[in-house]
Amino acid sequence: MSAHPVDEKLPAVKMATTGLQHVAAMYAGVVAPPLIVGAAIGLSATDLTFLTGACLFTAGLATFLQTLGIWKIGARLPFVNGVTFAGVAPMTAIVASTDDKSDALPIIFGAVIVAGLLGFIAAPFFSKMVRFFPPVVTGTVITLIGISLLPVAFGWAQGPNPAADDYGSSTNLTLAAITLLLVLLLRRFTRGFVKQIAVLLGLVGGTLIAIPFGVTDFGPVADASVIGFPTPFHFGAPQLQLAAIISMCVVMVVSMTESTADMLALGEIVDRPADERTIAAGLRADTLGSAISPIFNGFMCSAFAQNIGLVAMTRIRSRYVVAAGGGFLVLMGLCPMAASLIAVVPRPVLGGAGVVLFGSVAASGIQTLVRAGLEKDNNVLIVAVSLAVGIIPISAPEFYHSFPETARIVLDSGISTGCVVAVLLNLVFNHLGKNQDAADVTHPMEAGEELTGSTHPTPATP
């Protein structure tokens, strides 16, 4: 009896090349969070290289847990795991609220470890609570993630230092625009593997074009060693701060929700539907990977949705292919010179690519909202209020200035506050008193009028 395509072991060469393709598809997503957080802290090029390598290394370990699995840990599906975007905004908020920036990473690491351990314990219970996180909630949160990260891309496009004379100069903005154009052209006029790595190729092309402008620094590569190891607790022992822990626990809930949705989607694609047991095992892998990651100076890990699209496109469903990709991630993490390459990329070039990268996250959230049933007034209200609350820290950064500093760590993260509001409103409108007739619920703008324009209201479903 032949093995299921998910458990199929391909020839070594095909395993390696297809595994590399998965790495290429998610590489930019893995290195972006350490770049954002590292820049917010003001890390040196050497420390930024170390942090990037650590995130690559821990992404590989988390991918092993998810694809190969041990005991009741791991969905054993072709999932690539890496640093989740959901944690970026809360982590930068933690950095902003920390007076001594050298304490920022230890505080973040401590919060991630606690959130990971709590998530591991909660995994089997969370797998039973999926109904409380429908597309109207997950779509809103994913959209907020993209929106919250876009200002980072705009800041990168202007240059590395806001105090510098050339910050926001025409040269920097032109480099960002050229990079964005390169990515768009590659996505439009190429196919297959090249199209899949358009962002990576755009970064390379933008960096080469930036050389004559004198903004490309190859120093980090020259100073990096060929072989290295992410020394445990390189930035200091973890510190436990309640507000930071709460913030990262909210991120963990968001991450677990995303991973659950991804497992359900991937299960259908590979013809091995994810049941409650599979989801619980997959969530254990995510959360344990997140708890282990800070030991080696990495951040919270989660499944990468873009790789699900790659599985669907290539029809290569083997989990061992993705495990091979995890092996490449580990090797890259053990080679500081490879990790340092991203430090060479000028900040404006990163900004141009970031517009596509972060904008795609927001677009992914909008795609999820399309399936959320926005013809229902209740869901429109949930999305409207949740997005409004989530955008407050972006549109009005000083909105919570009178609140205690510890509370601001949570409140200044639009993702965290937007997620909490979306979950609570979904409970109120779609679960409590769910037998209420839809005719009693009016449009948020025009009382008594249906979104569809029909004069005959249709019953709402929870």
Instruction: Please write the tens of the pLDDT for every residue from 286-306.
Output: 999 999 999 999 999 888 766
What percent of the chain is modeled with pLDDT above 70?
87
Tokens matching residue 423: 């979950």
Q: What type of residue sits at position 383?
A: V
In a domain, 17, yes or no: yes
- Highest mean pLDDT out of 106-120, 153-167, 308-322, 337-351: 106-120
In a domain, 296, yes or no: yes
Cβ atoms of 303 and 79 within 8 Å: the answer is yes
Q: Is 433 left (phi over 0), alpha (psi -120 to 50) or beta?
A: left
- Least Cα distance to 335 among 63, 64, 58, 53 occurs for 53
In order, the DSSP letters of 125-138 are: HHTT-GGGS-HHHH
pLDDT given at position 135: 82
Cα 196 from Cα 200, distance rounded (Å): 9
Q: Is the pLDDT of residue 11 over 90?
A: no
Cα 109 from Cα 117, distance rounded (Å): 12
The predicted-structure confidence for 124-154, as pLDDT tens digits, reads as follows 988 887 677 788 887 888 788 778 878 878 9
Q: Using the Cα atoms of residue 443, residue 141, residue 92 and residue 31 in order, give the sign of their dihedral.
A: negative
Reduced to 3 states, what is the DSSP secondary structure of residue 73?
strand
Number of domains the chain is built from: 1
In a domain, 454, yes or no: no
- Least Cα distance to 412 among 140, 92, 147, 35 occurs for 92
Reduced to 3 states, what is the DSSP secondary structure of residue 255?
helix
Cβ atoms of 10 and 18 within 8 Å: the answer is yes
Total residue length of the chain: 462
Mean pLDDT of 216-242: 82
In a domain, 333, yes or no: yes
Distances in whole angstroms, Cα of residue 20 to Cα of each of 61, 77, 309? 16, 17, 15
Q: Is the pLDDT of residue 260 over 90?
A: no
In order, the DSSP letters of 266-328 are: HHHHTT----HHHHHHHHHHHHHHHHHGGGGT---EEE-HHHHHHHHHH----HHHHHHHHHH
pLDDT given at position 282: 92
Tokens matching residue 366: 């909008």
Radius of gyration of the CA atoms of the chain, in A: 22
- Least Cα distance to 410 among 84, 90, 36, 37 occurs for 90
Q: Which residues of 180-207 are buried (b: 16+ CB within 10 A; e: fewer)?
A: bebbeebeeeeeeeeebbbbbbbbbbbb
Cα 83 from Cα 74, distance rounded (Å): 17
* Number of other CB atoms surrounding residue 212 within 10 Å: 8
Cα 55 from Cα 59, distance rounded (Å): 6
In a domain, 449, yes or no: no
Distances in whole angstroms, Cα of residue 373 to Cα of each of 44, 134, 380, 389, 431? 47, 10, 9, 21, 15
In a domain, 378, yes or no: no
Q: Is the pLDDT of residue 283 over 90?
A: yes
Mean pLDDT of 37-49: 86
Q: Is 332 left (phi over 0), alpha (psi -120 to 50) or beta?
A: alpha
Cα 102 from Cα 109, distance rounded (Å): 12
In a domain, 217, yes or no: yes
Q: What is the pTM of this model?
A: 0.69
Cβ atoms of 34 and 83 within 8 Å: the answer is yes
Cα 114 from Cα 110, distance rounded (Å): 6
In a domain, 434, yes or no: no
Cβ atoms of 256 and 137 within 8 Å: the answer is no
The predicted-structure confidence for 12-40, as pLDDT tens digits, reads as follows 887 887 787 777 667 767 888 898 899 88
Quote the domain boundaries for residue 165: 5-366
